Amino acid sequence: MTKKRKVYLHVGLPGAGDIIEVALVRHREALVELGIDAPAKSVEDNFLSALELLREHKAWGFTRKEVEGQWAALCRRAWKGQGDVALSLPLLAAARRPEIDLLLDGLAGFQVHVVITAGPTDDIADFVERWSAAVRKPERLHVIRLEEPTPGKAWKAFGAVAGFGTASLGLDDVRAPFVRPVGSLDDARQEIERLARRNQSLERWRDESERKRKKLKRRLKVDAAA
């Protein structure tokens, strides 16, 4: 029986772990030598794929046509490789089950491992519950709790989970995520607008997570009293 190739899918949370997405793009050729295929050729590949899966393209100022087929294209590239696959889609941390199912459909045939990175005080219970149900087996969900949330530690920890060393894959020339070169004032304004929309989306997701946490806490109190 042919052994299934693995996919190590990083889904956030926002913070030091954001560097993983950019580092995978920067070192994609070197990673092949380490037995890891990183199918995203640019941060844009990941970003547009995430918008397509989340159906958030309008909120970010994109048309449906601009994002349609992005995730399928990324999956096709993953299938063309030979080693295990490393992907980072940080916007998907708060994806709901229909969106997760759509993502997993594209990775059918792989053994999918999900990696969540979080800071020392992040509340991740809701994210862990949702993604645990998706991957089904507990050993396929990896939570990296960064007590010292620095990009270097996040990158090294992800490499340890995915099975590659990062000593030769430095971050000195790795750009911060979501920062794009701009050639004009109009480009700069558009980039600022997109960053503002990203922050608004993340704030909405965090607010929703907090509401769910409080609701669950109230329910547990009622059950305990009964």
Is the CA virtual torsion 54, 55, 60, 66 positive or negative? positive
Query: What pLDDT, on the 0 to 100 scale, is given for residue 105?
Result: 94
Please list, in sequence order, all residues whose beta carbon lies within 8 angstroms of the beta carbon of residue 168, skipping any fewer than 6 positions away.
Answer: 30
Note whether residue 150 is domain-resident: yes
Burial class (CB in 10 A: 0-12, 13-18, 19+), 199: exposed
Residues of the chain with pLDDT under 70: 1-2, 175-213, 225-226
Instruction: Write the CATH number for 162.
Output: 3.40.50
Note whether residue 12 is domain-resident: yes
Note whether residue 82 is domain-resident: yes
Residue that has been written with the tokens 């993953």 in this structure:
78
Query: What pLDDT, on the 0 to 100 scale, is given for residue 191?
Result: 56
Note whether residue 194 is domain-resident: no
Query: What pLDDT, on the 0 to 100 scale, is given for residue 194?
Result: 57
Q: Which domain holds residue 45?
A: 6-176
Query: What pLDDT, on the 0 to 100 scale, is given for residue 5?
Result: 94
Query: What pLDDT, on the 0 to 100 scale, is given for residue 121?
Result: 87
Q: Are 27 and 169 in contact (CB under 8 A)?
A: yes
- Calpha distance 15→52 (Å, rounded): 22
Query: What pLDDT, on the 0 to 100 scale, is given for residue 181?
Result: 42
Query: What pLDDT, on the 0 to 100 scale, is given for residue 149?
Result: 84
Query: What pLDDT, on the 0 to 100 scale, is given for residue 101?
Result: 93
